[in-house]
Amino acid sequence: MTYRAPVDELRFTLVEVAAVDVLKATGAFPDFTDDITLAILEEAAKLANDVLAPLNKTGDAEHCKLDNGVVTTPTGFRQAYAKFVEGGWQGLQFPTKVGGMGLPRALGVATLEMVQSANMAFGLGPMLTYGAIEVLLVHGTDEQRAAYLPKLLNGEWSATMNLTEPQAGSDVGALRTKAEPNGDGSWAVSGQKIFITWGEHDCADNILHLVLARTPGSPAGTKGLSLFIVPKILDDGSRNGVQAIGLEHKLGIHGSPTCTMEYSGAKGWLIGAENAGMKAMFTMMNSARLNVGVQGVGIAERAYQQALAFAKDRKQGKAIDGKGPGPHPIIQHPDIQRSLAMMKSKIAASRAICMACAVAADLSEYAEDEDERAAAKRREELLTPIAKAWSTDIGVEVASMGIQIHGGMGYIEETGAAQHLRDARITPIYEGTNAIQAMDLAGRKLNMQGGAAFTELYADIELTIEACSTSSHPDLPLLGERLEEGLDSLREAATWMSEADPADVLAGATPFLTLAGEVIGGWMLCIGAVAARRRQKDKLGDPVFAAQRIALAGFYCEAVLTLAHARVDDITMGVEMISDVGFGVD
């Protein structure tokens, strides 16, 4: 199956839905123009289509190999990484003053989606490096930034995130890796980390490991964690005391080396303050959470494209409105069309959420007005757990639907449809499970600053409801009605959650995040429908594309938003009804 990057969809979502052009007024992106946006998308599409996508199945079949601490990536990965470095893609969304291209984060999200669609196992490497760059920008010293950023930004070096240990998964505070001062400003880091993505490989000249560890006398739990930079290769060219001692055999992402790392007095340097490691690491994790959401969108797009191509080619049965003798292509069957429409609409909704989150992140940093920066920060913080959790849930759902459209052939590895589901399944788990994202949304973001983030969200959705309701297009007023019904359900659930007992809040957190994702996703599609109608009236762009965007929003509103009221009962049932089921424990 050949992947083709959806450049038109990405560009429309960036400009018309996520409103990336508002960033031009900040003055922070002087090189950001319409021509640059199109050029970047088209060049990234070439990399994704022609270089990375053909290696996706190769990586899945070959896996990575570990021999005496050295990891060999699948055939073609080194050459593909060299192409990635040659294009300067690692530094696209970072400031020019430190060696980046100085372009918006949302454009980085669009290019990352193409990379993840084409080859998710490959894309994990650069994705982790993005996070390390952000940590250095925010928490690093001038000397650290000068020493490490140039090589990370040009892609010659890669980076990892080292949190997890056998006894410390989601409970990060239970980790035991230790760091002892060497007396020369460096630290000796010792311990074992597991599930380290791209922890060892043969693509980059050096690997910077960002490692959470405990210093002598540090407090228990997360308050006693510090973050260290531990290079694989030291400045003098010698190998540091860190080695991959194991390579995980996983359900999916076989081309991504997931390592067990052993630190044996490895030389490292503190980044940020001692015992402030979680603050620094959260910078990396928040970056990774948005980017993992983009992975969900990317793998969903890949699965959708493959299912669509199969449905056009596979002939079975006589379609109810089929012309001529059967069998007809299965895409002519209404149930297959419904499945494809559900896939396409949820991809578009989750893509828009991720891009809107990225735009908010840039506005929170670069908007001229302090109040605007604060509001944008609230929007970023609200959208981040939804972008991560809802988008990755969509990735799994769409990949599973893709197998269903293939029928029995989807269950056969030969077609490649199964790989998408196997690859997608990790995304709701890593970088904070989706349940943790739901608890963050319900437990922190909902009542943050007196509920300001949700109040502002409601007001913005109401503006779109008004735009739909007053549109001259006959289909848009109904979109406004459905969106208003969804908003009312979200408000009702949010009000209950903000007043409920903590145990009831936790019990309802996951369906609450789902409802928030569905309503916000519907809002995004309605924004797109309004923009498409404007394009129709102004005779701009492809009229077929505009009509399909309106139809896409209409389908989603009827198939998804009409179910919002039922979510409220699920959210508000309370913990007692759940615990009464009985699980064989006291």
Which residue is it, tokens 């797109």?
A: 528
Helix (H) or strand (E) holding 178: strand 178-181
Which residue is it, tokens 């309802």?
A: 508
User: What is the C-alpha to C-alpha distance for residues 101 and 94, in angstroms, rounded to an integer?
Assistant: 6
Cite the active site residues. 431
DSSP-derived letter for residue 168 is B
- Please return the burial class of 542, using the count of CB atoms within 10 Å of its CB with bins 0-12, 13-18 and 19+: exposed
User: What is the C-alpha to C-alpha distance for residues 230 and 187, in angstroms, rounded to an integer?
Assistant: 9
The count of other CB atoms within 10 Å of the CB of residue 205 is 10
Q: For 437-448, give the DSSP string.
A: HHHHIIIIITTG
Nearest Cα to 42, choosing from 126, 110, 127?
110
User: What is the C-alpha to C-alpha distance for residues 522 and 240, in angstroms, rounded to an integer?
Assistant: 50
Helix (H) or strand (E) holding 244: strand 242-247
Nearest Cα to 426, choosing from 280, 248, 260?
248
User: What is the C-alpha to C-alpha distance for residues 226 and 173, in angstroms, rounded to an integer?
Assistant: 11
Three-state DSSP class for 344? helix
The count of other CB atoms within 10 Å of the CB of residue 501 is 10
- Please return the burial class of 233, using the count of CB atoms within 10 Å of its CB with bins 0-12, 13-18 and 19+: middle
Three-state DSSP class for 486? helix
User: What is the C-alpha to C-alpha distance for residues 106 and 103, in angstroms, rounded to an integer?
Assistant: 9
User: What is the C-alpha to C-alpha distance for residues 362 and 93, in angstroms, rounded to an integer?
Assistant: 10
Point out which residues pair with 228 in neighbouring strands: 211, 270
User: What is the C-alpha to C-alpha distance for residues 186 and 267, in angstroms, rounded to an integer?
Assistant: 6
∠ CA 179-281-83, rounded to 5°: 105
Helix (H) or strand (E) holding 66: strand 65-67
Structure tokens at 345: 């609409």
DSSP-derived letter for residue 570 is H
User: What is the C-alpha to C-alpha distance for residues 450 and 30, in angstroms, rounded to an integer?
Assistant: 36
Structure tokens at 36: 């640059």
